[in-house]
Structure 1
Amino acid sequence: MPPVRRNSTITYILAGILCIFFLYFFFGDSTSIPSFPNAPKQLIHSKQAASNALSPPSLPFIKPAKLGPDEVPAPPPVVHYQMNNVTTSSTPIENHETILILTPLARFYQEYWDNLCKLSYPHDLISLGFIIPKGREGNLATQQLQERIQKTQHPSNKDRFASITILRQDTEPITAQAEADRHALTVQKERRAAMSRARNSLLFTTLGPTTSWVLWLDSDIIETPASLIQDLASHNKPVIVPNCFQRYYNKEEEAWMTRPYDFNSWQDSATAQGLAEQMGPDEILLEGYAEMATFRSLMAYMGDPTSDPRAEVDLDGVGGTALLVKAEVHRDGAMFPPFPFYHLIETEGFAKMAHRLGWKSYGLPNYFVYHYNE
């Protein structure tokens, strides 16, 4: 007959302590969740989490207290994120989806900032990120931006943004050239490679674990519908871009008119593919230049203001003037190649890289945003 094992009182006590410990570990933080009306559901707050629901766990928004000579700074808190709960849907406001708006900024345009502040998406779900070149013009742009931020982010403003990050570029500066010089064919490879590095630095520094969407918005986009974010996200596409035009005054007609501006959103052609096959490994295809006729179908010429603004077209290349990307596309590894990637670079190279990762790009030829006219 086997011996009878009796559970002692101490065994029950230890088991009870263990159960309490595990229950506290998994559920103990739930009472410390601060009150955020639009707090993203994917964030499980720690007792020492940053005061802003969108802050990364390194607490960049809290200035540490001065330490004594023998004091050691406390390590950053552990914050738990449930990445499976990060949603990207056609109803982003209802799902409290966070938006990261990223802008490479070489010059500050007041019209850009005014348009940004007029966006109707809840501002407490929007984080802003800027990267600005070093140098005199970059210093001026930084100063002008900070002056606007101080007003917009003042505690008395109930419509302030969730967070704002400003980076100073530590690689090649984004040269703030005149428009004609900036678009010269001879400078495109160097200029767009520098732009790619700036975009990647900004993206990898600011993309957080609760970010659902990334909106790339150039600093010279001065007019968009106030519902830009909701309109683009409502299509629920991995990569989607509106049509970028420019308003200008026609002296002959004595009237304000519009013209296409961004030629980087296109559908590929057999001619372009043939040109690429004859190129060396370091050569790139560029769009919108008579010296390099690709005969691609450009979305810039598909636009019709009287047609359905929700009409979609498939794209093989995208421009970055106003580009909405699901954050998971970037998390998958799609970035802006500063090198020839299948003979494409920057935003067009990004579309190619996203496609190679299984993500398609789309365009809205009848939905317009407008570029500053120099």
Structure 2
Amino acid sequence: MVHYKNSYINYIRRRPLALLAPITLLVIIYFYFFSTASSSSSTKPKYSYNKKSKGWFNNNKDSVILKNLPKNHIKHYDLNKLTISKDALAKKEEVLILTPMSKFLPEYWENLNKLTYDHSLISLGFIFPRNNDGDEALKNLESYLKIAKANNKLNFKKITLLRQDSNSLTSQLEKDRHAFKVQKERRSMMALARNSLVFTCLDPSTSWVLWLDADIVETSPNLIQDLTSHDKAVLSANVYQRFFDDKINAESIRPYDFNNWVESEEGLKIAKGLADDEIIVEGYAEMATYRPLMAHFYDANGDKNTEMALDGVGGGAVLVKADVHRDGAMFPSFPFYHLIETEGFAKMAKRLGYEVFGLPNYLVFHHNE
């Protein structure tokens, strides 16, 4: 663990099987040599609890007496006092930004640092595939973190770098990772990575979780304030892409993320005809659902705060109330109502009673490879 001023970077490399053998051996040695000594020692408990206490959350400093523990070893959190509101910044609500990263783009990092939400209230979490692409992305991000630290510009509350312990696609080229035939495998892997990330990084003090893809290189500096102001359980921005249009000889924009959608009769019909282990993948001609896609509802002259009820979401820029994850909404790596990963997450959130929305006129921009 490396400490930085008001923030720290937590490196987590998960190899549980490699640790199991030595830990088991240490436990056996411990019980063999110390069981006798323990049985003859005093039976007085290490910890004592003052019976006069009214509970863990009162102000009586003598109510709980814990001996033989380091100072401040135990922390108390009352989640009933945790606020999740449209006035997030004013109430100093903590935001966790989570990003699966198979490649590092300097534009992503620069955009992240331009966010005007108080950085001391923001924690960052990244997960990297355990392959050459992941190694390179991790190396590049670490370099930028060191530069930021040297310039006293690393002021996020906490940064967690996590190495993925599940498989990932060999090629991360856009044409390869978006091929129709690999979608079930790819998105199952992505779901596992997202679950590892949120389960590892979510703190009791977290109010909001912002899923921000590593390819998102341009957003409003007020992205977090803009999204939290809607006070929605799940809210997705509309992901577009800038490109040079030869037809008009100028830069233009085009829709990119087609995973923000409203269910259709054709989609339901297709689902009924699928085997239990098959999924519907949106945005491909091979499986035309004719679902209304939020990407096609963008109005350049429309109100950016216009909301649209959704049944599926992508992962480009999605704000989630932390309680949605705490209540059990995760990213299914298996067919869930014939949906998987982010679209499966939206379905799971709705099954838990939460509403899912999108902002068709609020754009964020994806990197153009």
Which segments of 5 or more consecutive residues in structure 1 lack a partner in the other structure? 1-17, 31-46, 48-71
Structure 2, gaps ≥5 residues long: 1-49
Equivalence for 2:59: 27
1:173, distance to aligned residue in structure 2 (A): 2.4
SS at match of 2:271: helix
| Residue 128 (structure 2) pairs with residue 136 (structure 1) | no
Please tell me whether Structure 1 or Structure 2 has the larger radius of gyration of its CA atoms. Answer: 1
- 1:156 matched to 2:152? The reply is yes
Please point out which of 160, 165, 171 is paired with 2:160.
165
- Of 227, 232, 235 in structure 2, the residue corresponding to residue 237 of structure 1 is 232
C-alpha change, 1:24 and 1:175, in structure 2 (3 Å) is closer
- Can you list the C-alpha shifts for 1:312-363, whole angstroms capped at 9, x where unaligned? 0100000111000000000000000000000000000000000000001000
Q: How far, CA to CA, are the matches of 2:198 and 2:281 in structure 1?
A: 24
Amino acid paired to 1:188: Q
Q: TM-score, normalised by structure 2?
A: 0.81
How far does residue 24 in structure 1 lie from its aligned partner after superposition?
11
Matches within 5 A, 1:69-148: 77-148=73-144
Candidates 347, 361, 368, aligned match of 2:356: 361
Q: Which of 347, 366, 369 lines up with 1:371 in the alignment?
A: 366
Q: Which residue is 2:325 aligned to?
A: 330
1:156 Cα shift? Answer: 3.0
Tell me the alpha carbon deviations over residues 177-209 of structure 1, each in whole angstroms, 9 at most, x when there is no partner: 211111110000000000000000000000010
Letter in 2 for 1:116: L
Q: Per-residue deviation at 1:152? A: 2.6
Deviations 1:231-262 (A, max 9, x none): 00000000000100000111232111100000
Are residues 255 and 29 of structure 1, via their aligned partners in 2, closer, same or farther at CA, if it must alter by over 3 Å?
A: farther
- SS of the equivalent of 1:214 reads strand
| Residue pair 1:107, 1:176 contacting (<8 A) in 2 also | no
Q: Does 2:293 align with 1:294?
A: no
* Change in CA separation of 1:174 and 1:130 when aligned onto 2, cut-off 3 Å: farther
Matched residue SS, 1:212: strand
Percent identity among equivalent residues?
A: 52
SS at match of 1:344: coil
The residue that corresponds to 1:225 in the other structure is 220
Q: What is the rounded CA distance, in whole Å, between the counterparts of 2:56 and 2:183 in structure 1?
A: 57
User: Deviation at 1:22?
Assistant: 7.4
Q: Is the 8 A contact 1:304 1:365 kept in 2?
A: yes
Offset at 1:160?
Answer: 1.2
Q: TM-score, normalised by structure 1?
A: 0.80
Residue 162 of structure 2 aligns to a residue whose secondary structure is strand
User: Following the alignment from structure 2 to structure 1, what is the Cα–Cα distance between the partners of residues 223 and 57?
Assistant: 42
Q: Which amino acid aligns with 2:291?
A: R
Residue in structure 1 matched with residue 28 of structure 2 by the alignment: none
Q: Which residue identity does 2:283 align to in structure 1?
A: G
**3-state SS of the aligned residue for 1:297?**
coil
Partner of 1:63: none
Deviation, 1:150, is 1.9
Instruction: Give the aligned residue type for 2:308.
Output: V
Shift of 1:291: 1.1
- In structure 2, C-alpha distance between the alignment counterparts of 1:162 and 1:20, rounded to whole Å: 37
The residue type paired with residue 27 of structure 1 is N
Note if contact 1:242-1:323 (Cα within 8 Å) is conserved in structure 2.
yes
**Residues 130 and 167 of structure 2 are in contact (CA less than 8 Å); yes or no, is this contact kept in structure 1?**
no
| C-alpha distance 151-358 of structure 1, shift in aligned 2 (>3 A) | same
Q: Would you say how many aligned residue pairs link Structure 1 and Structure 2?
A: 317
Contact 2:216 2:364 in 1 (8 A): yes
